[in-house]
Structures are given as C-alpha cells and as structure tokens.
A and B are shown apart, each in its own frame.
Chain A
Amino acid sequence: MTILSDLAARIATGAVRVVDLTHTLDPDFPVIVLPPEFGQCARFRMEEVSAYDHRGPAWKWHNLSLNEHTGTHFDAPSHWISGRDVPNGAVDEIAPEALIGPVCVIDCSAGAAADDDFALTPEHIRDWEAAHGQIPSGAWVLMRTDWSHRSGADYLNMAEDGAHSPGPTPDAIRLLLDRDIRGFGTETVGTDAGQGSHYDPPFPAHYLLHGAGKFGLQCLRNLDQLPPTGAVLIAPPLKIKGGTGSPLRVLALVDQT
C-alpha cells in the first residue's frame, strides 16, 4: 500500500470524507457590490447554446459569463495592488503544490451570530492556538462564521453605510502572516469584513495577505463540517492567463477515523 492508494481506498470507504466547501454557481448568488461608478463584478450568467434542439440536435450546452471573483472563488496575490509585484502572483503561475495544504478552522460562529460586524482579532487566534496548538506554517486558515447559512439580502447585509459582515482585523492578519500561512478563507463575500474599508490599511486581509503572496478563499460553506485541525484543503483555481482569481470547487479531506 502506498500513501496514495491508501488514501484512495479510504475515500472510497468513507474513512476519509470529502467535504465540498463550494456554493453552487447560481445567477442569483450575491457578488460583491462596489459603488456604482466603479466597474462591477459580473454576476454568474448562463445562456443556453442548444438543448437537443434545432440549435444542436444531440447536445445541450451553455455559454457562461462571470467574473474571476464570482461565487465561491480564489483570490490570487495579483488581485490586490499590494500583490502586484509578487512573483508568480497570477492564478496560472501558482505552483500546483501550493494549492493543497493542511487547514485550520477558527470557529467564530458564536461571535458572528451576536454581532454582524464581528472582528477576528489576534486574541481570538491565540485562544484558538491555546486549544489546538500553533497554526503550522503553510496552513490554510478558515474563519468559520456560519455566514453561509444566510441567504438573500441578509448575506451581503447592506445598509446605507455599507455592508455589515464579519472579518479579520489588520493585526489578526499580521499574526497569521507571522505564522506563514498559505491562505485565508471566509464564508462571506470577501476575506475582509463588510466594513473592512474603515481599517488601516483598508481591506487588511486583501492588502496584507496578497502583499505577502498569500491566497484568499471566499464564499465558502460547510465549514461547520470541518475539524479545527487535521483536514487537508484542495483549492485549485482555473488556469486563467494572468488571472487574479477564479471560481473553483474547494474540497476538504477529513479523516473520520
């Protein structure tokens, strides 16, 4: 038995469970909304090309249109200005082995339930480490908020002063960078809080992570099915030339034994 054949067998028996962390690409799934004078993130759209009909008698297929950052998606370093000079910062340049790694899940669901603007602070991370050990180098870190259980207008949770959704403080991100993580993921529409523009720097997760060559994952779901540690995350974006991100299928392998 090699490691891989053992893994395959365990997946087949369910001893290793594959958890899908992806939302379905759906035209009605929220995307980030910028002030209207900016170009907007394209919504997911699907136009039927043919459906076993006069347009193509034996086949059905669709043309898709979407943004790199539509639906459950990956942010590459080149997404943010701070990461523009990071070597291999576009999705097509990222080494494939960089896309798979151990995953730590920090449960912020209680805090997010109490406060839409819940902020993940260094204290929360240190508390988590006290319980689960230090975040290892090269880990994916996911912030569980159970925000993916929300739907409709409650998901973006827009108000006249902008969106209200949980996210990390700048210092929290700095601490994660100290731990040399692989990337940071959330259940919300961005890796930053809804009010993340009011931090210094604004959008600290984007600014600091990508400047350090780290990745982002957002619009994740099913984080409540992952253990705090021990799972492996597989998050390969589409290989888009010069792409700053990509919708993707995010899978976690969880050892059930």
Chain B
Amino acid sequence: MTEPLSPPKKKDPQRRSPVATLPPRTRSRAGLGLAVAAAENAFRLQTCADCGAVQYPPRDACCRCLSTDLPWRETDRTGTVIAETRIHASPDPYFRARLPWRAGSVRLAAGPTAICHLHGDVGRGDAVRLRLMLDKAGRGVMVALPQTPTPAMEDDPMMRELTAHPRHRRVLVTDARAPEAPALVQALLDAGAAHVWVGEAEAWRRWPGRAGFEGRENVTLVPLDVTDSDSLATLAGEIGGKTDILVNTARHVRPGGVMAADTVQARDAMEVNALGLMRLGQAFGPGMAGRTADGVNRAACFATVLSAHALSPDPGYGAFAASQAAARSVAQTLRAEFARGGLRMTCIYTGPTEDDWHDGLPPPKVAPKALARGIVKGLIDGLEEVFVGDVAQDLAERWRRDPGILERELGDMP
C-alpha cells in the first residue's frame, strides 16, 4: 500500500535547500531511444525487422539474427517480476539521497528481461504493467507498475520522482485569458495543487472571464505579460522561488498565410509565442531548475502549450505556425538547459482549438476542457511531449512517418 503524501511543512529558512543531483545520464545512441518513447508515453522497444525478436537493452544489432534493422515498435506492456531488491547503498549522489531504492528484474511478455524501477505495490512474482518513463535526468527508464491501479499509487516516492503530479504543488498558469485557463485551473486544483497563480496581462483591458478567477480559494490573479520582461522579473521576484510547476498558456493566434499577411501580427505572434516563452524561461527557469530536489513540492515541470503545427505549418496560419516552430525550438533548448538541473520541459501540442481564431475550420477541434485535461494528464504521467486531440495525434504520427510528405499534404489543404 502506498502511503499518501502529506502536505509539505514550511521550509526551515536556515537550512540550505537540497542540491539538485541527477541520476546517471550517460546513454548510448540507441539507449536514447527509450527517452524518445518515454517522452510521449509510448512503450516502444527495438524490434528486429528481419526476425521479429524484441531487443532489450537497446543495441545496434539483433541478438538473434545479427540484423542491423531494428526499428522501434510499440510493444506488449506486460511482464512478471522475477527478482527484486531494495538498494541501501549506492556510490551515486542522486540515489544516495533517496535510499532505499527498489529495483527488480522483470521478464517482459515480449521476451527480454529488463531491470526496472519497482513501484512500492509490486514485488517478486507479480504480474506488472510496464511503462517507459523519463527520469530526473530526462532519460527513459523502465518502470514496473501494479497491473491495476492501487490507492494513492501516484504518491509512491519513485513515482513522485518520475512525474510532475500537481498534488501539493504550486502552479503558475501564465495567461488567464487563454480559453483553456478556467478548466485548467480547476483540473489542477482537482489534482491536488496547493495553489494556482493565474497571470493576467493588461489588467487595464477589462474582460468578462476575470470574474471566474476572482475570490477563489487557492487561486490568485497576478500581473504577468509574457511580452514584458519587467512584469516577469517582478513576478518572478515574488513567486519564482515557490513556483513548482509552470504552465504557459499565453498564445497569439491569427489566421492568414505569409504573402498577404501582416508582419505586425506576425511580430505579435513571435513576441508572445516564441519570445514570450524565452522570457518565461529566463525569468522562472533558473529558480525552478535550482529547486528540483526541494522536498515534496520540489519544482518539477515547465510546460508550454504549442500548436501541433509547430511540427509542420498549416499555410492558413503561416505566421502563427512560424512562431510555433520557433517556440518549439526555444522549448527544446530550454529542455536541454533544464535537464542539467532535473527540471522537465513539457510541450503540449494541440490541434485547432474551439475558439474565435479557428472559427472557420471544420471539426474535430480541441475543446478547452480537453486541452486542460491533456495538460494535467501530461503532468501526472510525467511526459515531455503531449499530443492532445485527434488532429494533433494524427499530425504527429504523420510527421514521424515522413515530414516531407506531411508538408506537401498540408500545403494542399483548402
């Protein structure tokens, strides 16, 4: 049984915050493939194209037939724990600070044996559900979980390390005016967030949705404009040291291609979508990345909502897509920078959302509530790449398969 987490005590201001350390980070090129799968909650293992043997650990040639054609394929997620241990001693600073640590040998239904992180509710002899998850170093690791959910299983200390569950955490949502913001705040509170700050740009511009955030318990509207470095510096000065999760919902969407479009709007899109993310990273990144070992509510995740067209543009939204591609690139750099501190950078990709700026588009579109659910699920599952809705998932799949074909297909759209 997992012991449910208690809310953290207030910090002792005389004690040094624990130094963030990382689990071992060195991986082979093939080994990095686990992280790619883990980032999006896939369970892809190398599978021999010639003989079908599933390979683990990742390698460069089939251990059955020597084929070097080892594509990553979604694999049976079940297995059985055949041995377990509780590690009490480790020369590694990261694990030393977290001992004892449980690990086990799991016989995968797909064939190989994997050494796994063991959830507290499983042990030798148990049938388990396997996941590839990202560890604190941003690398993919095998995790053996109970076959069916157990009470408070997400509070297991190992799970707490591997996910960015909002429970007991303090969350900054950067743009209250985003269509998904009300549902997102609710979903974060429902997941146990201790407090949600919601950024409001240009408070001098009245808007009806404001009332939905006012006077709510554990919700505070704060002045925040991602286009204004000063507002970010001021806010980071106030709450940067206790922001455990940041979800950037600020988005500037305008239809129009490139040739006939307006560089003023394009600049606004860049300012909000790309440079805004950069400014957020500059203002909040260092503080969060320095607090990734700071107790139960240690900083865990910096997330941003992106359009799936960050991968390949919809010519109907040329400037917007350009800003999204730029934002994705900024996020990837932040991911590399955050990784050194153990902070996760999560991109939540959405297809067209149900809002004013996608009015003319046919369904399916992503409802604000669905987007909010997707964001919170990504945090709970500890993902780095989340594709919300059918359009985003379809686009990602086509992009993975062949970016060149996708570009041409999107170019032919009416």
Contact = CB atoms under 8 A, between A and B. Distances in A.
Interface in B176-232: 202-206, 208, 223, 225, 227-231
Given A36-B356, A40-B264, A152 B229 contact: no
Contacts of A33: 205
Contacts of A153: 203-206
B262 interface: yes
A27 B230 contact: yes
Contacts of A155: 204
Contacts of B231: 27-28
B205 A156 contact: yes
Contacts of B227: 43, 45
Given A152-B203, A153-B205, A156-B204, A40 B268 contact: yes
A47 interface: yes
A47 B262 contact: no
Contact of A30 (B205, B229, B230, B268): B205
B262 to A, nearest CB: 5
A158 interface: yes
A158 B205 contact: yes
B317 to A, nearest CB: 14
Contacts of B225: 27-28
A28 B223 CA distance: 10
B265 interface: yes
A65 to B, nearest CB: 9
Given A39-B264, A40-B268, A27 B228 contact: yes
A203 to B, nearest CB: 20
Nearest to B275: A47
Contacts of B206: 153, 156-159
Interface string B241-282: 000000000000010000000101100100000000000000
Given A43-B228, A45-B228, A47-B229, A30 B204 contact: yes
A129 interface: no
A55 B208 CA distance: 43
Given A45-B227, A45-B228, A39 B265 contact: yes
B381 to A, nearest CB: 35
A27 B229 CA distance: 10
Nearest to A39: B264
A53 interface: no
A111 to B, nearest CB: 23
A148 to B, nearest CB: 13
A46 interface: yes
A47 to B, nearest CB: 6
A6 interface: no
A30 B206 CA distance: 11
Contacts of A178: none
A83 B119 CA distance: 74
A48 interface: yes
Contacts of B268: 40
A48 B282 CA distance: 13
A97 interface: no
Contacts of A36: 254, 356
Contacts of B223: 28
Contacts of B265: 39-40
Given A45-B227, A156-B205, A160-B208, 19 more contacts: A27-B231, A28-B204, A28-B231, A29-B204, A30-B204, A33-B205, A36-B254, A36-B356, A37-B254, A42-B264, A43-B227, A46-B229, A46-B230, A48-B229, A151-B204, A152-B203, A153-B203, A158-B206, A159-B206
Closest 4 CB pairs of A and B: A39-B264, A30-B204, A27-B228, A153-B206
Interface of A: 27-30, 33, 36-37, 39-40, 42-43, 45-48, 151-153, 155-160
